[in-house]
Amino acid sequence: MTIAPLPAGLRVRTREVEDPGRLLDLLPDDRGPLSWVRGSDGLVGWGEVARFTAAGPHRFAAADEWWRAFTDRLEVLDEVGRPGTGAVAFASFTFSDRSLGSVLVVPRVVVGRRAGQAWITEFGAGDAPPPVRSVIPVRPSGTLRYGDGLLPVDRYRGAVAEAVRRMRAGELEKAALAHDLLAVGERPLDARFLLGGLARRYPTCWAFAVDGLVGATPELLLRRSGDVVSSRVLAGTIWPGEDADLDDALLTSAKDRWEHALAVDSLTDALRRYCTELVAPQAPSTLTLHNVSHLASDVSGRLDATSPATLLQLAEAVHPTAAVGGTPRDLAVSLIAELEGMDRGRYAGPVGWVDAAGDGELGIALRCAQLDGCTARLFAGCGIVADSDPDTEVREAAAKLLAVREALEAADQG
């Protein structure tokens, strides 16, 4: 693990401010913008006070321990006093415990808004004045060329076919397989351009950016607010052109309903030991987005008040759910590593924010790209069960990749 050195005498202050306008428009430059925004609400941040990175099976516990120790050392003046105020860290964890790159980033400035109330949180050391904030205009992507990633489409189709064969042989029930695609620009890509395009097209999703991973996820892994925990589970997908009545086709699809039930069960089974109450709907609803529709279930619970788990402790318990891992979990994760043969990095891992009280929100990093200079590595995946058809799953992944491709290529984001 790596811990950035901390300045002495850190102070943090949160104060209410007038409506700051569109949150994403506040991000001053492309040097590590931080975001967790849905519609008009959420958090954005810039600058960096501290950073923690970790890897391995205990990365969530290590991050939680570091974050508690960090916040215990702060001098805090919080004039707003709600989740997301005071000290906040943006978080992004790898899908696999064998991958490097799980990170907590503590920004120097955070601006937030929820239910019509807006605030700003600023870190400082001693009596030094805050640095001058200069804004660099957002740069469009320009001309892009696409190329194969580590797992091209033809090999992805083969991986799906092999997974289906093993499921039909009774080895496991589900595995969520993904592949990647590279987009290369003529100049370094501006994370704010992709972030803004995704937020405009998917206002009901959470537009996120943490350490170069940029996306818009429709799936809320966990929200913790005091003793209340909630989640939005998505599994089962259809896209325009596949059926005239998308909602009806999804709700009556035995394959999609089965895949969805596995995802809900995996989440509730993992959360149950932390909760005194836990409620999941008996049947899913549908969530319609710009490019696809999903089966969705909103799960809620009340944490055991005698020893309430923090957001990061809960994340360690539930990740990966069957929505992005599979069933049984260990067999599915092993199969993913074998058949994909690539490092997913932080794709399909938890991403979001956490505050000093252990409250916060974590989504699953879907519909996203890892930006590195002129290159964006795009990811998309599908839940594979015994009834899956490899060609259909390839088309589903392409429909999901369209979200990031359109936002990267857009010329109308003024």
How many other C-beta atoms are found inside a 10 Å radius of the C-beta of residue 265?
15
Would you state the pLDDT for residue 30? 79
Catalytic residue among 174, 259, 393, 396: 174
Whole-number pLDDT of residue 6? 57
Whether 400 is a known active-site residue: answer no
Residue 124 has pLDDT above 90, yes or no: no
- What's the pLDDT band for 371 if we cut at 50, 70, 90? very high
User: What DSSP character marks residue 170?
Assistant: T
Confidence of residue 128 (pLDDT cuts 50, 70, 90): low
pLDDT in tens, 98-111: 999 999 999 999 99
DSSP class of residue 202 equals -
pLDDT of residue 223: 98
Please state the rounded mean pLDDT for residues 340-368: 97
Q: For position 243, what pLDDT does the model report? A: 52
Question: What pLDDT is recorded for position 306?
Answer: 86
User: Averaged over 234-258, what is the pLDDT?
Assistant: 79
Band (pLDDT 50/70/90 cuts) for residue 132 is: low
Strand partners, 84: none
- Per the annotation, the verdict on 79 as an active-site residue is no
Is residue 414 very low, low, confident or very high in pLDDT (cuts 50, 70, 90)?
very low
What distance in Å separates the CA atoms of residue 194 and residue 214, rounded to the nearest whole number? 7
Q: Provide the token pair at 161.
A: 């076919």
Percentage of the chain lying above the pLDDT 70 cut: 93
pLDDT score at 249 = 84
> 3: pLDDT confidence band, cut at 50, 70 and 90?
low
pLDDT mean over 1-17: 75
The answer to which of 112-116, 204-208, 293-297 has the lowest mean pLDDT is 293-297
pLDDT for residue 398 is more than 60: yes
Write down all domains in the chain, each with its CATH number in brackets.
2-124+141-409 (3.60.120.10)
Lowest mean pLDDT among 52-61, 130-139, 335-344: 130-139
Instruction: Indicate which residue of 75, 122, 173, 219 is catalytic.
Output: 219
Q: Given this model, what pLDDT does residue 289 score?
A: 82
